[in-house]
Structure 1
């Protein structure tokens, strides 16, 4: 059914003529800008690793300072679990503030893998109100834990994962 206002705008003009139908619509379409940049970043070869997750997030537009240190080699499984935690945290942050400044710190030692992700964002209280259940469940499934902290415009999540118990059999 036609909008009554549109019908009135096409009412006969003095002299019995009507304006053309297209005259009542905005038919201007702005030109499309074509970019040579890929709309999606290339998946790094080490996608299922901590370094790969950080690289991929940086290519996706996140501003990330990477201060993670691997003092002891990580198993592929433990590296993949760390990467999954990062992807989940980055996803939560992206939902609220794609422009948040992020810092990833932590270390891999013989005893444990610790990842700390800090976000400077005015949406920190909203992040702080989230339970992060899927991240907690993942850490717990490998004998680890997750802690979060919110301070004004800063939100931090720290995951502690022991390296003693490794890939499930």
Structure 2
């Protein structure tokens, strides 16, 4: 069993002295289409290949129903359920997330091997079992589908590209007048 990709984390990154929760509004939404995802990543200097590789981080994760329930009911004027979603998978999610859901902890793991860093996430996208619309969209768009398929077939390729993308991501948002923290959890 593989333990996942690894990469060298550069030392000396300058971070800001304050953190604001409202800055997370700039993160891509779970309902984004591929064009919106590409634009969001491009603002950070990241390309299509980094977008698809970093999305693979969803191999470890969980989502509450509120982030994907719009795909399950009244999706459009033509379709009740998102047609890109596997129909059996949609039924499973509907049972887990009933219309009058009072269980705020209800949701779904983002891949079936959620405690293992692997390429199952991509295999699920190929099978129409992406939880987020933004994830499933990666398989539905010609600009990203071929990358999803290549990672679904070759886990070592995914690991290599994920590690390279993490290094690139590590250089996003470096603050010129920031500080190199002695303890990453607190400002100096």
| Same fold at TM > 0.5 | no
- Greater strand proportion: 1
Larger Rg: 1
Bigger relative contact order, structure 1 or 2 (CA pairs below 8 A, ≥6 apart): 2
User: If the length of structure 1 is used for normalisation, what is the TM-score?
Assistant: 0.22
- Greater helix proportion: 2
User: If the length of structure 2 is used for normalisation, what is the TM-score?
Assistant: 0.20
